[in-house]
Structure 1
Amino acid sequence: MDLSGVAAILALAGVPVSVLIARWQMRAMLAQAEISHRATLEAAQLTQQGALEAVRAQSERERHRWLTEARRASYRLFQHSLSEFRRTIMSDEVDMVRLSEAYYGVHDTGHEIAEVGPDNVTGLASRLTTECELLRHDVALGHLASRQEREDLWNGLVAPLRKHLDEAIYDALAGD
């Protein structure tokens, strides 16, 4: 074989070697791309988790703020309704229509408190509503004819509950 034949054989052998080298380089590049892809995917997942946690935290803060505002408004309305009921029942001549309206104001705002809680405030509001209902019935039946009788009953039954309610409301709002 002459020199051109040896060169031809080496050239033919060189083609498969270059193909093998190119294939090996392609596999290495694909492996590197896979590693890069996985790292990018992990980083994206961590970023997504961080964003979701931030949104959850913000949502919880907003919910807490809304709940605190709703509680304050409900408590204020309930206290106002109790005051209106007391003014009505303590008048010299009790107007039963006004007394019923005042009672239903207490009743309705008591339900608002039940929606925002907490349980100890809801329980006290419910007990106060029941006491107001009993007072209204006693007045309607003529059992509490004098203002002094109504005032004594209010001071003995409702006023202590109202004091406990004030303390429970303070604790509930202080905890918020």
Structure 2
Amino acid sequence: MDLQGVGALAAAAVAAVGIPAALLVGRWQMRAALRTAETTYRAALDAVRADAANTHTQWQRSARRDAYAAFLSTAGDLKTRSMRLRYLNPRDEEAHAALLGELGEFNVALNSQLLIIKLEGPPEVASKADWYSTQVHAYVRRERRCYEEIRAWTKLLDLVAAHDPEQEAARALQASLEALERAVTESNFSGSYEIVEIHDHNGDEDVPEPVTTAYRVAQNAYADLPSDTFTEKDHIALFTRCFWDEERIPMPQGSHFYAYIMQAEAKFIASARTALSHSDVITDQ
């Protein structure tokens, strides 16, 4: 074999070795490219996730802030409007019905907004909102009771002042109710009308005898009037007016009930601010 043939064989051998080497280098380059692409993809995915988490955090904080603000506004409106009951003319039936309608609407709204806060959380804020709502509802009940008692008593006084056949029976009822109130005060009885009523029916409540006796006299006096003289709501209000239980707001001693509301409101606001100030998503765990 001449030198030219040997050169050809050598070239063929080098080429045979170079082909696998080129393939190997290409595979390494492909793997490196895939790793780079995967790293880029993961970085992009992490960025999307972080952006989504941040967007969710902002949305959640905004939703909670709106829920807290609406709840506070409605609670304040319900509270202030219930106070207007004290200044209504007890003979103005139209104004009475209109204000009670307003209170009913705000009551429904407050309950709905409380439910939203319980859904949105966090539990600490929901707990404070629940307590604040309880205090507001209790205050509204007391204000309504105060107004109903004034309204029923005004009806009785109008009947006493009228010149009609029921005048004497109305005077007797007025005197017996005043005697019942004196018996409650002199006996230092702090129980409710309901307790006395239960005691009168089955005797399983601890009620001073003077209170029980005066209660029975007043009920008999009430029964002497025609059945359509007062409504059942008036009937209850005439008697609850004689008692000084926790549900009644005697002025000026009743100011501490308003203080309870303000304390509950302050605790709710403080809890809400803490929740909204968190930089991360606030979970309910």
Q: Give deviations 1:141-168, integer Å, cap 9, x for gaps.
A: 31349xxx75639935641222113312
Higher helix share: 1
Partners of 1:28 and 1:74 lie apart in 2 by 68
Aligned residues: 170
The alignment's C-alpha RMSD in Å is: 3.1
Q: Does 1:125 align with 2:133?
A: yes
Contact 2:114 2:130 in 1 (8 A): yes
SS of residue paired to 1:152? coil
**Stretch moving more, 105-114 or 93-102:** 93-102
Partners of 1:154 and 1:74 lie apart in 2 by 28
Report the identity percentage: 7
Which of 155, 165, 168 is residue 267 of structure 2 equivalent to? 168
Query: Mapping of 1:34-49 within 5 angstroms?
Result: 34-49=31-46
SS of residue paired to 1:79? helix
Change (3 A) 1:164 1:90: farther
SS of residue paired to 1:127? helix
Partners of 2:88 and 2:28 lie apart in 1 by 89
Partners of 1:42 and 1:49 lie apart in 2 by 10
Normalising to structure 2: TM-score of the pair?
0.50
User: Greater relative contact order: 1 or 2 (C-alpha under 8 angstroms, separation 6 or more)?
Assistant: 2
Normalising to structure 1: TM-score of the pair?
0.76
Contact 1:75 1:169 in 2 (8 A): no
Return 5+ residue gaps in structure 1 as ranges. none
Query: Mapping of 1:90-129 within 5 angstroms?
Result: 90-93=87-90, 95=93, 97-98=97-98, 100-111=100-111, 112-116=113-117, 118=125, 119-129=127-137
Partners of 1:90 and 1:135 lie apart in 2 by 11
Query: Mapping of 1:70-81 within 5 angstroms?
Result: 70-81=67-78
SS of residue paired to 1:93? coil
